Homo-oligomer: A and B are copies of this chain.
Amino acid sequence: MINNVVLVGRLTKDPELRYTQGGVAVARFTVAVNRTFSNQQGDREADFINCVAWRKQAENLANFMRKGSLVGVQGRIQTGSYDDKDGKRVYTTDIVADNIQFLEPRNATGGGGNFNQPSQQQNYGGQSNQFNAQPQQSYQNQPMNQQNYTNMNDDPFSAPSQGNAPQGSVDMSDDDLPF
């Protein structure tokens, strides 16, 4: 059945990358989408939407996007529930990302000098991301934002275990690289 979501917004924090026991990369992130209208106090509010990405998209996201980065997400809504430490049922709603577009990186806050956005770049020919990737940012070499959890099932906020880590030969190509 049709279950289709598109969001454009900013990461509220650095994405959180983990690996399942089977070694599959999963990234969790929250996208803040500002509303296009103001409330009665004249303020513009935002919706904070939890998202999950898998595999290469997860790794690319963790490597190239930061708190504040602008992203486009196409995916589907996934609902679930778990029991918290008080035995209380908590219902969850997440967007499972099928496709993520890196619209704008956020400069690294540290002294890294990475993700710099040259003012006079010539970026004809296609992709919308606006940064020059340095070799050391390659996801194969040293994933950033990575945490050392290995068992997602310890964490009630981890994505559910059934059916959402597409196994098999759906291996993504270099087309998933954001450049």
Interface set of A (CB-CB < 8 Å, partner B): 1-10, 33-41, 44-50, 70, 72, 74, 76-79, 88, 90, 93, 95, 99, 101, 103-104, 117, 119, 125-128, 130, 162-163, 169-170, 173, 175
Contact = CB atoms under 8 A, between A and B. Distances in A.
Contacts of A2: 6-9, 33, 72, 74, 99, 101
A2 B130 CA distance: 16
A39 to B, nearest CB: 4
A48 B45 CA distance: 25
Given A44-B126, A49-B79, A162-B39, A4 B4 contact: yes
A175 B126 contact: no
Among A38, A48, A93, find the residue whose CB has the most chain B CB atoms closer than 10 A.
A93
Contacts of A77: 5, 7, 33, 47, 49, 77, 95
A108 to B, nearest CB: 14
A4 B6 contact: yes
A88 to B, nearest CB: 8
Please report whether the interface of chain A is mostly helix, strand, loop or mixed according to DSSP. strand
Nearest to A7: B3
A48 B99 contact: no
Contact of A163 (B35, B88, B99, B101): B35
A72 B72 contact: yes
B128 A163 contact: no
Contacts of A72: 1-2, 8, 72
Nearest to A30: B79
A108 B152 CA distance: 44
16 contacts: A4-B6, A4-B7, A8-B72, A9-B128, A10-B128, A33-B77, A34-B127, A37-B173, A44-B125, A46-B126, A47-B78, A47-B79, A49-B79, A70-B103, A70-B128, A103-B104
